[in-house]
Every structure is written in structure tokens, then in C-alpha cells.
Chain A
Amino acid sequence: MVNLEKMRVPIEEVEHIARLAKLQLTEQEKERYSVQLGQILEYMEQLSKLNLKDVPPTSHILPLKNVFREDVVKESLPQEEALRNAPQKEGGYFKVPKALG
């Protein structure tokens, strides 16, 4: 029998991660993710068994170089178009609630 309690991510840590990720989780979700993240992370622990000491990391499979182009003005989305999907707008701006409570 696998001990699910032992694998749990502590609730305080779930809350910390949720704050970083800007997710206002319900109590039920915190409980669920505490158990599920624990199980998934436990599974991922298997990578620590690989001998990775001198292995270089792969962040990307292509030999990427910076792509440059001439700095010329091109057509862009008109303001009206760019604002078309905005939940709230005013005077050509996106409108959001105040930053400080």
C-alpha cells in the first residue's frame, strides 16, 4: 500500500505555489492538488536516479541563433482592433480595477 499522506505536498506549500501562479484556489482544490502534485512529483523523482553529472542540459533542440531584421516601421494592428477583445476599455485604453486596495 502506497502511503499517500507521506507523498503529499503540504497545504502551505500549495498555497505558496498558487500565490506565485496567481490562482485563487478553493479549499477543495488545495486539498486535491496537495495529494495529486505529491504523487506526480514522487513519480518524477525517478530522474534523480539517472547519472546526469556531466550531461549538458537541452533547452531547445534547434541550434537557435538570434534572428535579426531591419528596423523598419511596418503596419500593425489598428488600436480599435487591438482593443476589440478587451473585457473593459475606455478612451482607447484597457480598463482594469485599481492596483492598490
Chain B
Amino acid sequence: MKLHLLPAHSLLALLGRGEVSAEEVVSSFLHRVEEVEGDLNAFITLFSQDSLTQAREVDKLRAKGERVGRLAGVPIAIKDNICVQGKRMTCGSRMLSNFVPPYDATVVRRLKEEGAIIIGKTNMDEFAMGSSNENSFFGPVKNPFDSQRVSGGSSGGSAAAVSAGEAPMALGSDTGGSVRLPASFCGVVGLKPTYGLVSRFGLVAFASSLDQIGVLTRDVEDCALLLEVIAGYDPQDSTSIDQHLPDLVLEMKKGIKGLRVGLPEEYFSPEVDPQVKEAVLRAVNQLTLEGVEVERVNLPHTTSAIATYYIIADAEASSNLARYDGARYGYRAQGTRVLLDMYSRTRNEGFGDEVKRRIMLGTYVLSSGYYDAYYLQAQKARTLIRKDFEEAFCRCDLLVTPTSPTPAFKLGEKMDDPLLMYLSDSFTVPANLAGLPSLSIPCGMTREGLPIGMQIIGPPLGESQILGLASIYEQVASKGRDGL
């Protein structure tokens, strides 16, 4: 049995019945890592010995008949911008290449409490800034379906790891699509929860009004399971929502008859790759056969989303990244004799090209004389984008769109043209600007053998409806594949 190809809930069933040990499970994934990591570069740091030790602990507890956590013995990969106490966290940057966090992120604490085994920290675009995972100080992540293509970013390592069977589940972060875009390119399920649903304590800040920790899994049930474990109020995050979350795994099985799904016209424009459009519409058709009602809707400010997003995100980033000055932690430039010189040389040597470009842009739009023209305009445009969604959700329960206008593109293809790269996020940034939950699920392949992702966007705290629709689609699609 190939354990590394199973989703976590199947592994948990086997572990619960004593048919496999946690040690066997972890070994199987570590073995897979050895096999494929040379091609993928999905991990920055691996905890092979530690994870085997922890697996044996879990096995001992189970043998003694003691209560174990909901994820006991399941390996998980964590994006390298989320703190695990005592383990190096680089953020994909030279700036933090030697940084060891003194505490656990809240999500990591919750995973540990449920017995999950952290097998490593995944590669990412530096400070989560990128759509292709080519901006990492530790090299790009390759797409498991085609090593000439990008994994998508910025959680490319997490997506590739789950896709290739290096880990059954992973955490990522999503500021403008960084969970959903790589999930779509690598053929896995990726969810960005409602803003505030998951604590960000211990997540390195990029753009604080947009950042949210998300999950990447092999299937929808795992997505619900992992979200349940990490979600919930945390007094250590002042943006944390204090609201009880329903039992997602149970809720999502409630059925979808009569559910109204909106197709926003702007997301099916002529610029979208015809194969992508076709695959998403075919999926929608299959869902109508299951009793879903479909209607066309409009989100007229969609075309303003990229300009709005990159002004707001970069403005917030330029402020958040001011803390990296070489004084208290992280990289410090050698041989400087005056404090200001140390700051500016440390920052120039420690940050990569894209991060500096964004700090420059963010500083520009916030600087005297330009604030009103760019930053304030963008905040107002953000209101319009948000209202578009509010109006659409008066007419329908969920929205369905392609996750990305194209499948995974070639390595290097967009590296010389930052604006072209930014446009890869056209369909994912609106949900961040409006704080909405949004999931990407595989919905077929191109003729070249590349995965295509379908995005489901819901109203605030609409996670259980999103997962419900995704779960039905998953069943329908797998029936189609098995020829039943």
C-alpha cells in the first residue's frame, strides 16, 4: 500500500484500527521526500529524526490505549513563514536565514496538541511575495506535473509537497492568492478562510489587512478536518473573530440541493485560457445535475482589483518590513561603522529583488504628495470591490470562477515583467480585499497534462457551504473518472 498517496483521514482510519503505525506512516512520507525532493525543492528544512521520534511516541500512547489527538501520527508540512519553536524559520529570505523563533504560532500549538507531526518547513517566495515561487532565496519550487513549470506562489512548497505525496497536508498563507494559486497549479485542494477565522499569531506579517493562514490538502474532507483544528478565537491576535465555528466535517455533508451558484461574467473574459474556461464550465454543468441552480452575476470592479491590491499590500508591506534592520535578529551586513549605514546595507543585502521592489512601491504610494493619489484611492476602490460581492451574495449563495486565468506557466517566463506576474493573481486577490473565504479544487487537466483549478468563493464565514459544494463536486468528478 502506498501510504504517501493517502489523504490524512484515510491514514487516521488505518492508524485507529492499528493496521499501520505512525512510524510507518512518517517513514513512508520521508522516503517519498528522499525520492522526489531533488526535483521539486519543496522543503527548506526537514525534521526527519524529530518526526520519527514523535511518531514512536504516538505509537506508544496508542499501544497503551491512551487518548490521542485528532491528527495523531499524521505528518504535516508548514510554510516557512509560520513559527515552530526552536526550528529555523527563514521566510524564504536571506534576511531570516539564521532566525530561530522562540515560540510556536497558535496554529502550530493547536496542531501539536492534536498529535500532528511536523515533518518540515516548506519553500516559499521571499516574505510570501510572488506568484510563482521563483523569488525564494533557496531556489524555485518546481511543479510536480512538469519540472519546467512553476509551482505557483507563494505557498509553492506546501502545494508541491502535498501534490507529490511528500506530506498529506500542509499549511500555507494567503495574502492575494498564495494558497489557492499554487493549489490550482499543483492539483491539490487549497482554502483561504474568512479573514480573522484563523489566528495569525506567529505568522510573519506581510500585509496585515489581507494575510490569512490557509490549508492545502489532497481532498475536501482533509481540508475541513485541518481547518477545524486550526480555526478559532485567539486572544493573542487582535483581528481574531470570536465566534463559534460549526462542525465542518458534519456540516459539509448536508447536501446542496437548491444551492444558488453565481458565475461572475468578469472571470470568464476572453483573456482566460479556453481550456481553463471549458473545464470550469464543465464542472458547473455537472453540479447542476446534482441540483445546484446557476445564474450569471456581475462583479463590475474586478478589473480594478490588481491595482487596488498591489497598492494596499505593498503599502502595508513597506511598513511591516521596516522591522528588519539587523539590530535584534536576522541578517546583519558586515563591517558597517554607523547605525544608519548598518540599516540600509543590511536591508539591501538581506532582501531580494521582488521584496525591495515592493518596499519601494509601498513607500512611494505612502509618501508625502502621493498618499491621496494612490493609497486613499485604493482604499476607496476596495470598498467598491467589497460591495460588488455583497450585492452578488444577495442573489446567490456561492460564486464559482477559475482560480487562475492560465495553468502553471514556464519557469522564468514572467520574471522580467513584474506587472505580468502580478496579473496572475487577477482572480484570487478580490477575495482577500473583501476578506472572504475561498477555495481552489482541481477540476480537470489541460491537454498538456497540467492541473486546472476551480475557485469557490463564499460570504464571510461561509466555509461549510464552500466545503459542501466542493465535496459534492469531488464525488461527481471521481465517479466520472472511474467510469461509473
The reply to whether chain A is a binding partner of chain B is yes
Binding site for B on A (CB under 8 A): 9, 14, 17-18, 20-26, 29, 33, 36-37, 39-41, 43-44, 46-48, 50, 52, 55-62, 64, 67, 69, 77, 81-82, 84-88, 94, 96-101
Task: Write out the residue numbers on chain B whose beta carbons fall within 8 Å of the beta carbon of A55.
Answer: 380-381, 383-384
Specify the chain B residue showing the minimal Cβ separation from A57: B379
B376 touches A57 (CB 8 A): yes
- Please state if B341 and A97 are interface contacts (CB–CB under 8 Å): yes
Inter-chain contact B102/A36, CB cutoff 8 Å:
no
Tell whether B473 is near chain A: CB-to-CB under 8 Å. Answer: no
Q: Is the CB of B377 within 8 A of A77?
A: no
The answer to the question of B329 belonging to the interface, with a C-beta cut-off of 8 Å to chain A, is yes
- Known contacts A37-B360, A44-B310, A47-B307; A22/B347 CB under 8 A: yes
Within the complex, what minimum Cβ distance (angstroms) separates A42 from chain B? 9
User: Residues of A contacting B331 with CB < 8 Å?
Assistant: 87
**A-contact 0/1 string along B310-347, CB 8 Å cutoff:** 11000000100010011111111000111111111101
Interface 9-residue window, one of B71-79, B235-243, B289-297: B235-243
**Chain A contacts of B377 at CB under 8 A?**
47-48, 50, 52
* Distance, CA A4 to CA B235, complexed state (A): 50
The 9 A-B pairs at the shortest CB distance, nearest first, are namely: A57-B379, A61-B435, A85-B329, A87-B332, A24-B344, A101-B338, A52-B380, A58-B382, A21-B363
Q: Is the CB of A17 within 8 A of B102?
A: no
With A60-B209, A77-B102 known as contacts, the answer to whether A43 contacts B382 (CB < 8 A) is no
A64 contacts B239, CB within 8 Å? yes
A58 adjacent to B383 (CB under 8 Å): yes
Chain B contributes a number of interface residues (CB within 8 A of A) equal to 68
Nearest CB of chain B from residue A77's CB, rounded to whole Å: 6
Q: Are B435 and A39 in contact (CB under 8 A)?
A: no
Minimum C-beta distance from B344 to chain A (A): 4
Q: Is the CB of A37 within 8 A of B383?
A: no
- In the complex, B195 has a CB within 8 A of chain A: yes
A1 to B295, CA, bound (A): 41
B331 to chain A, nearest CB (A): 8
B357 in complex: contacting residue of A37, A64, A100, CB < 8 Å: A37
Min CB distance A21 to B, Å, is 4
Q: Does B196 count as interface, using CB distance less than 8 angstroms?
A: yes
A24 touches B308 (CB 8 A): no
Which residues of chain B are near A23, meaning CB under 8 Å? Answer: 344, 347-348, 351, 356, 359-360
Binding site for A on B (CB under 8 A): 98-100, 102-103, 195-196, 209, 235, 238-239, 241, 301, 303-304, 306-308, 310-311, 318, 322, 325-332, 336-345, 347-348, 351, 356-357, 359-361, 363-364, 367, 373-374, 376-384, 386, 418-419, 422, 434-435
Q: Is there contact, CB below 8 Å, between B379 and A58?
A: yes
CB nearest to B195 among chain A residues: A61
CB–CB A20/B363 < 8 A? yes
Among residues of A, the one whose C-beta sits closest to the C-beta of B342 is: A97
Given contacts A50-B381, A94-B328, A96-B327, contact A82 B102 (CB under 8 A): yes
**Bound-state Cα–Cα, A26 to B364, Å:** 18
Chain B residues whose C-beta falls within 8 Å of the C-beta of A77 in the assembled complex: 102-103
Contact A84 B100 (CB under 8 A): yes
Contacts of B328 in A (CB 8 A): 85-86, 94
Set of chain B residues within 8 Å of A17, measured between Cβ atoms: 360, 363-364, 367
Which of B306, B343, B367, B378 meets A22, CB within 8 Å? B343
Can you give 25 contacting A-B residue pairs, CB < 8 Å? A21-B318, A21-B363, A23-B356, A24-B348, A29-B356, A39-B418, A41-B374, A44-B307, A46-B303, A47-B307, A47-B308, A47-B378, A50-B381, A55-B380, A57-B379, A57-B382, A59-B379, A62-B239, A67-B235, A85-B99, A85-B330, A96-B339, A97-B342, A100-B338, A101-B341
Q: How far is the CB of B233 from chain A (nearest CB, A)?
A: 11
A100 CA / B299 CA spacing, docked (Å): 54
Known: A17-B360, A17-B367, A94-B327. 9 other contacts (CB 8 A): A20-B363, A22-B347, A36-B357, A39-B419, A40-B422, A48-B373, A57-B379, A85-B328, A97-B337
